[in-house]
Structure 1
Amino acid sequence: MYEGRSWQATEFGEPEDVMSVVETRWSAPADGQILVRVRAVGAGFADVLQVRGQYPGVTPPVTPGLEVAGEVAEAAPGTGYAPGDMVMGVTPAAVGETYGGYADYTYLRAGKVRRIPSTFSAEEAAGFMIPFRTAHQALAERISTEPGETLAVLGAGGGVGSAAIQLGKALGLTVIAVAATDEKLKFCMAHGADHGVNHREQDVAAELVRLTDGAGVDVLLDTVGGELTSRAIQGVGSGGRVSVAGYASGAFVTVDVMDMVLRNYSVVGVYAGGTTPDQDAAAYGTMLGMAERGVIRTPIGTVSPFEEVPAVLARMASGGPAGKHIIRVS
């Protein structure tokens, strides 16, 4: 039996109102599981949705935290891991389990665990799995891209968006970052974006057309949804592809099918949690190779202590600073 702290919400609500630290016990891992002593956690907007009760399948008490890095404390037989191994992985919190990553210990599913690249710190490892897996599915699996094409990323200052910038450049694409503030655009440019568009001050569609010499972008990655995406789609060129990967605005984009037909573009949905073990193995094999070569690495924005989990999630709920946000646990 292992003992420690975990952040929990016994009812749904805003993080700073409903979350508190609870003394928790963890038993030996079940078949196919690994018990990890958590070093760092990647904070994501999905954590906010879980605490608010807006994430499918989650019921109180909620211990959010989907992606962690740490040291194996105990592993079930046959998982391929042993105590002391340094790993990163995805917790079962997304499927309604009460054991999430904002804790001293958590469980990981063996199929969602990888060894930490030699080039990564624990903090970088904690923010790698979900953003880059989502970006890879959006840009290399649900659609295909070719070197020389142009990619526009909505929500480019967020975790998935800033990961997509790096992955897009690694795939040979010209990348246009679309974000809400000049500060976030500076972050995006520092992490590889070729151009930036402030969607609060500029006409997004007009800028996408201008930056592509009138052709429109080949690929649009959407993590925002709502009215912004509806506007940005008007900057997608003929034969373009739109990957819908999120709804940070609170609502998915409403697709105008007639417009899609007349302008000859396609729209696909992206959910990295719905992939098969074989798909995961291939994608992570590619991306971990890139990471080992230094081609991609987690675009960290902030690192905060364990005590500030509710405050970090509250800032994310209102937009927050750019980059991937990390909680250092131990």
Structure 2
Amino acid sequence: MNTTTGKAWRAIKFGPPAESVELQQLTWEAPPEGHVLIRVSTAGAGFPDVMMTAGQYPLLGDPPFGLGEEAAGEVVAVSTGSRLSVGDRVTGITAFLQGWGGFAEYAYLREISTIRIPPTMTDEEAGGFPIGFRTAYAALVDRTPIEAGQTLLVLGAAGSTGTAAMQLGKALGAKVIAVAGSQDKLDFCSRHGADHVIGYRDENLTARLTEITDGRGIDLIFDPVGGDTAATALKSIARNGRIALVGVASGNPVPLNPMDMLLRNYSAVGVLATPGDPEAEALVWERLAELAGAGKVTMPVGRVYDFHDVPRMITEQSTPGPGKSVVRVASA
């Protein structure tokens, strides 16, 4: 293929997005092995974008680098031996760890983490699908498997990763309890998979969990939040329960007490959804595509931003509304 040029948002230094993020003209060469190049229609956004611009994302080095972990669009070029074809409508995880993000007119996707978009999925839903659901799958299937009939507590449940965990948990047969901080977020959770909702600001979390579980406790806590909320939730974990450590949206990880873990016989498991064995990874994405195609999971879209509003969008991911924030790129 010939080289392709277009615009892309890049972090040029660490700091507030209005000062650290710049729209630049870039050139994309033929995709490297294991990647495809897409013309981006939409790209998902989230708290990791805040961490990246602030210099708090542990997997990235210093700027400059591209922003946007996930994107959807049309394949315009493939590498040798690709299972995808030019013209395919796909969504996947970008090559952001190599400095190429999705908030751009073109993006490289890791083919191992890319699927064809089910016909029922909109561009906005597709752009925000990969990261949340791959993370939820890593937690609920790979690292701390949830079983049908068990109780799943989702913290930060109105966020993109929390929403994915709610939906995947329901698809796997769990009873889902959602924790969020405002009435509009609680209403959102009720519409998108939660059997019970708890407002952590206005309700006694421990008392409500005791009531809902008849004193038995929680089998699995899905924790992308950390901090005081997660610490309170741990008081209600069942014997032989697990807490999946997914993120630190509160700014602090949940404090763990090894003696408490020993006496109450529960475990804490770190969750990082990085690709492993290619065949196993392909099966993960195949299953996620099947669930999405069957309508058993979806990514409810929250706010849709214009391509030129990316710096403001990143700032607002510190306190987003319910649902997945998405950037529409194709109309730029």
Q: Please classify the TM superposition score into its range, dividing by the shorter chain length.
A: over 0.9
Number of the residue aligned with 1:67? 70
**Distance in 2 between residues matched to 1:278 and 1:180, nearest whole Å:** 39
Unaligned runs of 5+ in 2: none
Q: Contact between 1:223 and 1:247, CA under 8 Å: does it hold in 2?
A: yes
The alpha carbon displacement at 1:282 in A equals 2.0
**Distance in 1 between residues matched to 2:275 and 2:70, nearest whole Å:** 16
The alpha carbon displacement at 1:18 in A equals 1.6
Number of the residue aligned with 1:316? 317
AA at the equivalent of 2:64 = P
**Distance in 1 between residues matched to 2:236 and 2:193, nearest whole Å:** 21
**Distance in 1 between residues matched to 2:275 and 2:37, nearest whole Å:** 23
Q: Does 1:2 align with 2:42?
A: no
The alpha carbon displacement at 1:275 in A equals 3.5
Selected match of 1:91 from 85, 89, 94: 94
The alpha carbon displacement at 1:277 in A equals 2.2
Number of the residue aligned with 1:236? 237
What secondary structure does 2:252 align onto? Answer: coil
Number of the residue aligned with 1:169? 170
Q: Superposition pairs for residues 170-249 of structure 1, below 5 Å? A: 170-249=171-250
What secondary structure does 1:207 align onto? Answer: helix
Q: Superposition pairs for residues 1-330 of structure 1, below 5 Å? A: 1-56=3-58, 57-93=60-96, 95=97, 97-317=98-318, 319-330=319-330
**Distance in 1 between residues matched to 2:116 and 2:68, nearest whole Å:** 19
Aligned length: 327
What secondary structure does 2:14 align onto? Answer: coil
Q: Contact between 1:152 and 1:177, CA under 8 Å: does it hold in 2?
A: yes
**Distance in 2 between residues matched to 1:65 and 1:80, nearest whole Å:** 24
**Distance in 1 between residues matched to 2:157 and 2:19, nearest whole Å:** 29
Q: Contact between 1:63 and 1:101, CA under 8 Å: does it hold in 2?
A: yes
Deviations 1:262-309 (CA, angstroms, capped at 9, x unpaired) = 111111111112543233222222221111111111121121111111
**Distance in 2 between residues matched to 1:82 and 1:155, nearest whole Å:** 37
The alpha carbon displacement at 1:112 in A equals 1.8
Q: Contact between 1:63 and 1:98, CA under 8 Å: does it hold in 2?
A: yes
AA at the equivalent of 1:325 = S
**Distance in 2 between residues matched to 1:78 and 1:5, nearest whole Å:** 28
AA at the equivalent of 2:251 = G
State the superposition RMSD in angstroms.
Answer: 1.3
Q: Contact between 2:114 and 2:285, CA under 8 Å: does it hold in 1?
A: no
**Distance in 2 between residues matched to 1:299 and 1:279, nearest whole Å:** 27
What secondary structure does 2:161 align onto? Answer: helix
**Distance in 2 between residues matched to 1:31 and 1:283, nearest whole Å:** 21
AA at the equivalent of 1:84 = G
AA at the equivalent of 2:196 = H
AA at the equivalent of 2:35 = Q
What secondary structure does 2:317 align onto? Answer: helix
Percent of counterpart pairs with the same letter? Answer: 43
Deviations 1:187-246 (CA, angstroms, capped at 9, x unpaired) = 111102111111112222222122111111111100001121111100111121111111
What secondary structure does 2:61 align onto? Answer: coil
**Distance in 1 between residues matched to 2:78 and 2:117, nearest whole Å:** 16
- TM-score normalised per structure 1: 0.96
What secondary structure does 1:50 align onto? Answer: helix
Q: Contact between 1:8 and 1:62, CA under 8 Å: does it hold in 2?
A: yes
AA at the equivalent of 1:293 = A
**Distance in 1 between residues matched to 2:13 and 2:191, nearest whole Å:** 40
**Distance in 1 between residues matched to 2:34 and 2:168, nearest whole Å:** 31
Q: Contact between 1:87 and 1:115, CA under 8 Å: does it hold in 2?
A: yes
**Distance in 2 between residues matched to 1:66 and 1:276, nearest whole Å:** 21
**Distance in 1 between residues matched to 2:252 and 2:279, nearest whole Å:** 31
Deviations 1:143-162 (CA, angstroms, capped at 9, x unpaired) = 22221111110010110101
**Distance in 1 between residues matched to 2:127 and 2:186, nearest whole Å:** 23
Unaligned runs of 5+ in 1: none
AA at the equivalent of 1:155 = G
AA at the equivalent of 1:211 = I
**Distance in 1 between residues matched to 2:279 and 2:273, nearest whole Å:** 13
**Which segments of structure 1 move beyond 3 Å, counting only runs of 4 or more?**
none
What secondary structure does 1:296 align onto? Answer: coil
Q: Contact between 2:95 and 2:109, CA under 8 Å: does it hold in 1?
A: yes
